[in-house]
Amino acid sequence: MLIAQLSDPHVREPGVRYQGVVDSNRMFAQALAHLDTLDRRPDLIVLTGDLVDHGRPAEYREVRRLLAATTTIPWLAMAGNHDEREAFRAAFHDQACLPREGPLHFCVDDHPVRIVAVDSCLPGLHHGQVDAAALAWLHDTLARQPNKPTLLMLHHPPFMSGIPYLDAYRCMDAEGLEAVVRAHPQVERVLCGHVHRSMLRRWAGTVVCTAPSTTTEICLQLHPDAAPASVVGPAGCLLHLWDPVHGMVSHVSHIGAFEGPYPFA
């Protein structure tokens, strides 16, 4: 099974640019089109949050239009801190796995790899947290299929990256989450968005992958006094390839036109 992970498109109303600078809608359309150029078509797209920038219904209408216009690959969407929970629920009312009230946790068990999403968002805040009720839901959900390979989706990374202006917005107080995940070794990956960069970390007995954004890239600055900064590009996505014999391998796939291909490897 091949799973494509797109994250943080920050779609705006038609004609409006993200942060007044970037045509995030066009870049999201390009990211979706990119998946159709791959030599193996993904079986599923997962969208790991911040689908829109302000949580407005008009932004969600544009997300749905872009998804309908550019891809026929099945997809699953989860919310990020820039999404508004009830507007998200209304926009994706036809995503049958979404609960009708409360946090937007869900589980999809229709594929060779199980997809579990935990809503780590705190309405009105940029950082994340997984409370006791969410931990209990996650434990019970994972316990129902202890032998099936599972991807856990979480918008906020549960670790320190070393980038000061990102670490202030991570998933806070993650010890309880770590304990639950560690108790369920079938979790092959924890897939996150939020940070607009690709990062890897060994955590809770598994691997956490953060996806690049389909729009801006947040700058890699490790000085503790570094000021927030972003650049436009390179946009990218992650591809997670599951094989029942060889397990899971994750790749970064850059989006754009590049020189080549040349006949060597």
Dist CA 160 CA 106 (whole Å): 26
Query: pLDDT of 1-24, one tens digit each?
Result: 999 999 999 999 999 999 999 999
Position 97 scores a pLDDT of: 96
Q: What's the pTM value of the predicted model, to 2 decimals?
A: 0.96
The H or E element containing residue 34 is: helix 24-35
Q: What is the DSSP string of 83-138?
A: S-HHHHHHHTTT-TTS-SSSS--EEE-SSSSEEEEE--B-TT-SSEE--HHHHHHH
Dist CA 148 CA 159 (whole Å): 25
Confidence of residue 70 (pLDDT cuts 50, 70, 90): confident
Query: pLDDT of 124-181, one tens digit each?
Result: 999 999 999 999 999 999 999 999 999 999 999 999 999 999 999 999 999 999 999 9
Dist CA 155 CA 158 (whole Å): 9
Number of Cβ within a 10 Å radius of residue 187: 22
**Which pair of tokens denotes residue 49?**
């949050």
Contact 149, 113 (CB under 8 A): yes
The CATH class that applies to domain 2-254 reads alpha beta
Query: pLDDT of 222-264, one tens digit each?
Result: 999 999 999 997 899 999 999 999 999 999 999 998 999 999 9
